[in-house]
Structure 1
Amino acid sequence: MRLLLAVFAALLVFSAPAHAAGPQLGIADDRLLLQGGAEADKALLEWQQNGIQTVRIYALWSRVAPSSPTGEYSWDQLDHAVNRVVGANMKPILTITGPGPLWVSRRSERGETRYDPDPKLFAEYARLVAERYADRVDTYIVWNEPNLGGWLRPQAACFGKVCNSVSPHLYRDLVNAAYPAIHGADRTAKVLIGAMSSRGSRLTTENSNHTPLAFLRALGCVDATFKKQSNGRCKGFKAPQADGFAFHPHGVLAAPEQVFPNKDDVSIASLSRLTSTLDKLQKAKRLKSTTSKLGLYLDEFGYQTNPPDKFAGISLAQQDQWLQRAAYQAWRNPRVKLFAQYLWYDEPRSLNNENGGWQSGLRFTDGRAKPALKHFAMPFALDAGKGRLWGQVRTRETRSVKVQRKLAGSSSWKTIGTRKTDSQGYWSWTTRLTVGASYRYQAAGATSATVKRQ
């Protein structure tokens, strides 16, 4: 009997996690990858060493397409980037996106490359991309951040002080044209839509940014109560189709557990707002999907740091801690299939060194490592409310971790349990957490960050 009890106790400590295998790990850093050369090769090696599985790359229309309709397409840079990723045994995801050259705009006389892109021409470009990379790429995203004026214009049509949505309807036309074009060239492809920014604003100008959920409702031609609309730009509505939904839940200055006050914005802590809206649109047949519920692909997530960003950056220590806790938030939502770090290297600052670019990298522009890089391969989080310890061995080099505790006032660590990891390296343990104690875990010869139970 004692032997049976001992075996049972051991099984409890070493049991496999009940949670389904968590999201794959990705990276997005186009500036670094597309420039090629030794820096790109060095980054790819580092990505491999840190367990990254997926690399998102822009198939930017204006970079590939000629400056006139009769010119030749330039594929070399994108070819090299895709081949580098595949050669490193990682999977590329291509975001087929504008802006395109000026001649693809239906209002080219305005001189704005982002303005009203022709869906038929975009579908042809999407077909060319999928046809060229079908043997190396499995997943495509239709456009990047269509709810932002920096990527798609106009966002709205304004008459006096009243502005009405335009970009969701432009985007619906782009998706409805590109989705069958991509599948026609690559029948087994997974085509994602969305890739929206996490926040927006009230529409007050032609290029005001949409909040993501307001954009989604307009995309599906429903009002705030999900009542179907059939007038104006919704006349002749055709539901867009998707195989998954991409999203960029950047928190900016908000901690990973914090929700944005505007209920139409979506942080990583409030992904349920997004899935609820998607589910309602599917149920109303205003969004078609090849799955019963759309999976979420977080192809961008990051925190800018100060230094160097004095305006939209958090401290280096906060970035280290918050990225680990954000990974836990992503794992908690079973709809999340991909969690991708944005960026690896900071982008350069503007000439006056005051603003510009994006500084969410794990390395500064000059290559120096930020503290967050040290713990990137083994994130660790403590959820006091649920009495849970959580982590991930992103290199997937081992199937178990040793969980350790140091009591308040003590100088020694004691192993208190061993946990199995799932196929993606995740593990979790719900247990009584001692107030004032510190926790960490060890795996594959490395040690995680230390977290204290307050």
Structure 2
Amino acid sequence: MRRLLLTFPLIALCAWAPPAGASSRQVTTFEAPRELLSGSTRATTLDQISQFGVKRVRQLVYWRDIAPEPDSKTKPAGFDASNPDSYPANKWDNLDGLVAAARERKIDVTLTLTGPVPRWATKGKRDNYTDPLPAEFGAFATAIGRRYGDAVNLWSVWNEPNQPQFLRPQFKSGKAYSPKLYRKLYQAAERGLRSTPANAKDTLLIAETSPRGNSNIVAPLAFLRGMLCLDSKYRKSKSCGKLEPGGYAHHAYTTSAGPRWVPQNADDVTIGVLPRLVTALDKAARAGALPKHLPIHLTEFGIQTEPDKISGVSLERQAAYLAVSEHIAYVNPRVAAFSQYLMSDDPPRSSGYRYGGFESGLKSADGKEKPAFNGFRLPLAVEAYGNQDVLWGLVRPQRAVSKVTIERRITGYKTWRVLKTIDTTASGVYALKTPRKKGQHYRVKWTSPSGTTYTGPSVRSY
């Protein structure tokens, strides 16, 4: 019953028609750093991403990877961190190649400026993560803005700053410290980017938070309040001014329990409780800490699979869970972007637990396509509601009116039979409901304007 109650508002909002403004403005972002930063795989991967119908890719820019002498305690003599020409020329090669190749294919690029940073750009010079100096980071943002300002129109500051593997310390004397540190880093980066004419009006995203907190990680909504100088009742400190980002970035990963899983900590935000973030942003806006109706960009998302036995689900569930997750994002009118993280899984490690990376790719580490590969092109979400199955789908490569055919079969039978052929909306979306039968599976077929017929994977409700 609890699951049905969670599902019902979603059905009531959107099962038969998209909410106004949700579909046409919600874009898909793809992140495949291993392939896109390599000259040998970049072109093929970008072509695949383009064939999916994706028009934007995201790339993290680690300052340590570009800076000279990143592990030295002493800043190189004469080095001007704000001047892109002061950096070693070869350090730009991979990023230059990605930006140019994406631009050639009319694919937009989001750059997330983030740590680790050069050791010499930290307060204590102990490592590449602890107390980065805002002024130095602002200079780095200036250099990036000067180099890529004509080719990039969406920027973000710091990947998962509420995680200790990206920013330290997270806590001091038992209190959250990273939110206030991040605020200074964000403001410095904003000044740096805005100082370059090409970026003066570009969209800048704030936060990039990971979904859950614990004793070592600041929970995302606690991070939001700390960053904005708000107390638990969302009252703003007079010493903190209003921030003016163009969007709020978040990574709404869930667990192997699925998209509808609800975390107990009220300050956690997974895909299944996305309204928590909407509510928090609205409270912050009423307190004068953020603009009203700030768009949410889900800049990183994925479903991990086997062979990871800790966080992964079956390959079939991955395709089903991804579609349900995108459905949740799609019907939330505040969500401006939804993302797929990884084209292929991280390679297995040579020691320790072999699958401690991310197995959220549409392909396995050896390049074999998972069911989610075709499912990403034609996501089909299936959820049970009482004695009915509610279906929602998207033709990602063609965000225009076209026809799709929904087929079904029953477990134990090999034959797929046509359930219904329907027209999509002008945004490539469709939905229907059908009586629920035990063991019922669904798939979608779509023929592109070129005449190629694509078939999605078999999915069912879980």
TM-score bracket relative to the smaller structure: 0.7 to 0.9
Distance apart, 1:199 and its partner CA: 0.8
C-alpha deviations, 1:325-377, integer Å up to 9, x for none? Answer: 11111112111111111111111222226243222111122212222213220
Write the mapping of 1:117-266 to structure 2, written as runs, cut at 5 A: 117-158=132-173, 163-185=174-196, 186-202=199-215, 208-229=216-237, 236-266=239-269
Change (3 A) 1:313 1:450: closer
Residue 420 (1) aligns with residue 433 (2):
no
CA 1:422/1:433 → structure 2, altered by over 3 Å: closer, same or farther? farther
- What CA distance in whole angstroms lies between the structure 1 residues aligned with 2:30 and 2:139? 28
- Secondary structure at 1:285 match in 2: coil
Distance 1:349 1:447 in 2: 30
The question of whether the paired residues in 2 share the 8 Å contact of 1:175 and 1:240 is answered with no
Tell me the CA shift for residue 266 of structure 1. Answer: 0.7
After the TM superposition, which residues 320-359 of structure 1 pair with which residues of structure 2 at under 5 Å, given as runs? 320-352=319-351, 354-355=353-354, 356-359=356-359
Name the SS of the counterpart of 1:349 in structure 2. coil
Residue 295 of structure 2: aligned partner: 295
Query: Partners of 1:358 and 1:453 in 2: how far apart?
Result: 25
Which residue of structure 1 lines up, in the alignment, with residue 21 of structure 2? 20
Q: Which residue identity lines up with residue 275 of structure 1 in the other structure?
A: V
* Distance apart, 1:116 and its partner CA: 0.9
Q: Is the 8 A contact 1:401 1:443 kept in 2?
A: yes
How many angstroms does 1:243 deviate by? 0.5
Residues 78 and 438 from structure 1, CA distance in 2 versus in 1: closer, same or farther, beyond 3 angstroms? closer
Partner amino acid, structure 2, of 1:346: D
1:97 Cα shift?
Answer: 1.0
CA distance in structure 1 between the partners assigned to 2:345 and 2:375 by the alignment: 18
For residues 21-63 of structure 1, what are the alpha-carbon distances to aligned partners after superposition, in whole Å with 9 as ceiling and x for unaligned? 42211111212211x2222222112112222211001121111
Following the alignment from structure 2 to structure 1, what is the Cα–Cα distance between the partners of residues 391 and 423? 10
Give the conservation status (yes or no) of the 8 Å contact 1:419–1:428.
no
- Provide the secondary structure at the position in 2 that maps to 1:242: coil
Instruction: Give the letter aligned to residue 148 of structure 2.
Output: Y
**Alignment-mate amino acid for residue 92 of structure 1:** V
> In structure 2, how many angstroms separate the alpha carbons of the residues matched to 1:297 and 1:240?
17
* In structure 1, distance between residues paired with 2:421 and 2:403: 8
Deviations 1:166-187 (A, max 9, x none): 1000011111222232123212
3-state secondary structure, aligned to 1:191: strand
Stretch moving more, 357-366 or 437-446: 437-446
| 1:303 Cα offset (Å) | 1.7
Relative to structure 1, the CA distance from residue 407 to residue 41 in structure 2 (aligned partners, 3 Å threshold; closer, same or farther) is closer
Partner of 1:448: 456
Specify the code of the residue in structure 2 equivalent to 1:85: A
Match of 2:372 in 1: 372
Contact 1:401 1:441 in 2 (8 A): no
Deviation at 1:405, TM superposition (A): 5.3
Q: Are the aligned partners of 1:61 and 1:99 in contact in 2 as well (CA < 8 Å)?
A: yes
Query: How far apart are 1:150 and its partner, in Å?
Result: 0.6
Aligned to 2:362: 362
Distance 1:447 1:366, change over 3 A: closer
C-alpha displacement at 1:134, in angstroms? 1.4
- Summarize the Cα distance change of 1:169–1:397 in structure 2 as closer, same or farther, 3 Å threshold: closer
Identity %: 34
Which amino acid in the other structure matches residue 238 of structure 1?
A: G
In the alignment, the residues of structure 1 paired with residue 227 and residue 399 of structure 2 have an alpha-carbon distance, to the nearest angstrom, of: 43
Q: Partners in 1 of 2:316 and 2:460 — Cα distance?
A: 15
Find out whether 1:315 has 2:314 as its counterpart.
Answer: yes
Residue 398 of structure 2: aligned partner: 396
In the TM superposition, residue 218 of structure 1 has moved relative to its aligned partner by 1.0
8 Å CA contact 1:54, 1:90 repeated in 2: yes
Task: Please tell me the residue identity of whatever aligns with 1:169.
Answer: K
RMSD: 2.4
* Residues 343 and 363, structure 2, Cα contact 8 Å, conserved in 1: yes
Tell me the alpha carbon deviations over residues 99-135 of structure 1, each in whole angstroms, 9 at most, x when there is no partner.
2101111221xx1111111111111111221221111
Structure-2-length-normalised TM-score: 0.84
- Is the partner of 1:92 in helix, strand or coil? strand
Moved more, 24-33 or 147-156: 24-33
The 3 A distance-change label for structure 1 pair 86 and 407 is: closer
Q: Would you say 1:78 and 2:86 are equivalent positions?
A: no
Whole-Å separation in 2 of the counterparts to 1:28 and 1:453: 27
Instruction: Find the partner of 1:102 among 119, 124, 129.
Output: 119
Residue 10 of structure 2 corresponds to: none
Q: Tell me which moved more, 386-395 or 96-105.
A: 386-395
Number of matched residues? 417
**1:195 counterpart letter in structure 2:** E
Question: Is this contact kept in 1: 2:423–2:430, CA < 8 A?
Answer: yes
How far residue 136 of structure 1 moved from its aligned partner, in angstroms, is 0.8
Residue pair 1:257, 1:329 contacting (<8 A) in 2 also:
no
Q: Is the 8 A contact 1:53 1:90 kept in 2?
A: yes
Q: Do residues 273 (structure 1) and 276 (structure 2) align?
A: yes
Q: What is the CA–CA distance in structure 1 between the aligned matches of 2:391 and 2:425, rounded to whole Å?
A: 13
Cα distance in 1 for residues equivalent to 2:461 and 2:257: 21
- The one-letter code sitting in structure 2 at the alignment partner of 1:201 is N
In structure 2, what residue type is equivalent to 1:25? Answer: T
Residues 332 and 213 of structure 1, relative CA distance in 2, 3 Å threshold: same
CA deviation profile, 1:383-429 (whole Å, cap 9, x unmatched): 43396421111111762223435586995623534222333x32334
